[in-house]
């Protein structure tokens, strides 16, 4: 059984990114034959500063731990994107990109910071009618295509879909 250790840009008080990821897991992979350990990095610039928390989660896991880091593309030319990709490769972590950001992928629009949690909650309520029409979650090259992500490509490596 897998333990998904998810490194997310969001703040623990907001959890908006986690709501989208959890909705994706619930919809596409159904029954919980896996565990989830979210780690909230608070911001994109702090994603690579979570090593002690990652090591602690791996040590405490009673299952096979898999580390998946979630990053918004934001600006494609951003040096931080290169550093995040290098960090994941060096540590053998999987990397899920959201282009331009997670709200753009799931909602098709940008969302003000103060409305992120509210919009994520609304998405959770409507996910069963929204997910069947989403074809942007399995992008091979999400850095090249706005409004896309490789989330299902990464999750499919570890989990079996119950919905397709």
Rounded to whole angstroms, how far apart are CA atoms 44 and 73?
10
Rounded to whole angstroms, how far apart are CA atoms 100 and 139?
13
Helices (H), the chain: 16-29, 51-60, 79-91, 102-107, 116-130, 151-155
Rounded to whole angstroms, how far apart are CA atoms 50 and 105?
25
Q: Note whether 35 and 29 are within 8 A (CB).
A: no
> What pLDDT shows up at residue 33?
84
How long, in residues, is the chain? 164
Rounded to whole angstroms, how far apart are CA atoms 45 and 80?
7
- Reading across the β-sheet that carries 94-99, which strands appear in turn? 34-40, 2-8, 64-72, 94-99, 148-149
Domains of the chain, first to last? 2-155 (3.40.50)
- For 40-79, the pLDDT digits (tens) are 999 999 999 999 999 999 999 989 999 999 999 997 778 9
> What pLDDT shows up at residue 103?
96
pTM to 2 decimal places: 0.95
> What pLDDT shows up at residue 78?
85
> What pLDDT shows up at residue 74?
93
> What pLDDT shows up at residue 164?
61
pLDDT in tens, the chain (164 residues): 899 999 999 999 999 999 999 999 999 998 778 999 999 999 999 999 999 999 999 999 989 999 999 999 997 778 999 999 999 999 999 999 999 999 999 999 999 999 999 999 999 999 999 998 899 999 999 999 999 999 999 999 999 999 66
> What pLDDT shows up at residue 55?
97
> What pLDDT shows up at residue 77?
73
């Amino acid at each position: 059984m897998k333990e998904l250790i998810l490194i997310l840009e969001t703040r623990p008080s907001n959890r908006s990114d986690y709501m989208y990821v959890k909705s994706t897991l619930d919809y596409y992979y159904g029954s919980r034959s896996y565990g989830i350990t979210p780690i909230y990095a608070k911001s994109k610039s702090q994603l690579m500063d979570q090593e002690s928390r990652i090591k602690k989660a791996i040590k405490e896991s009673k299952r096979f731990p898999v580390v998946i880091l979630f990053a918004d593309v934001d600006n494609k030319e951003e040096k931080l994107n290169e550093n995040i990709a290098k960090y994941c490769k060096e540590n053998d972590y999987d990397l899920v990109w959201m282009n331009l950001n997670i709200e753009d992928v799931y909602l098709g629009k940008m969302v003000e910071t103060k409305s992120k949690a509210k919009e994520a909650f609304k998405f959770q309520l409507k996910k069963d009618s929204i997910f069947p029409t989403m074809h942007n979650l399995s992008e091979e090259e999400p850095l090249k295509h706005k409004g896309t992500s490789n989330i299902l490509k990464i999750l499919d490596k570890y989990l079996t879909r119950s919905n397709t």
